[in-house]
Amino acid sequence: MKLGEKVAVESLEVELKTPTELRLAGTLSTPTAQAEFRRMLQDLHAQIVAAKTPAFSVDVQALRFVNSTAIRAFVDWISRAAHAGYTLAFKTSASVTWHRLSFSVLKSLAPSTVEILETHATPAGGGPAT
């Protein structure tokens, strides 16, 4: 991935904000988006390893939904990160139920590799989050 480049795959938006931060937005639920996302993560993992980056953050606050199959892409990435020796910090939103449930489980798979940075911000518009 190129720094600052936004890539859209169906309803998923992926952006490498800095050399050590990925931002995800939208939804990740179709087979096409999942396959492309997996490919992006494999390429990104190779970049992280080549740069000897010790820690990488992933902002998922604007990622509204992923289906259970798509969670596997995160599991695989966490496994690769653990074997390569770098950490992943996921920036999540406390107001999004699937963030609280899924990322706590992902952390339990590799507690020394995964960190959860949970924000408690009110969603835009001040109404309840969905």
Asked if residue 81 belongs to a domain, the reply is yes
Give the whole-angstrom CA distance, residue 33 versus residue 10: 6
Full-model pTM: 0.88
Residue 31 included in any domain: yes
Q: Is residue 70 part of a domain?
A: yes
Percent pLDDT > 70 in the chain is 92
CATH of the domain at 50: 3.30.750.24
Q: What is the pLDDT of residues 30-71, one digit of tens each?
A: 999 999 999 999 999 999 999 999 999 999 999 999 998 899
Residue 125 lies in a domain: no
Query: Is 73 inside any structural domain?
Result: yes
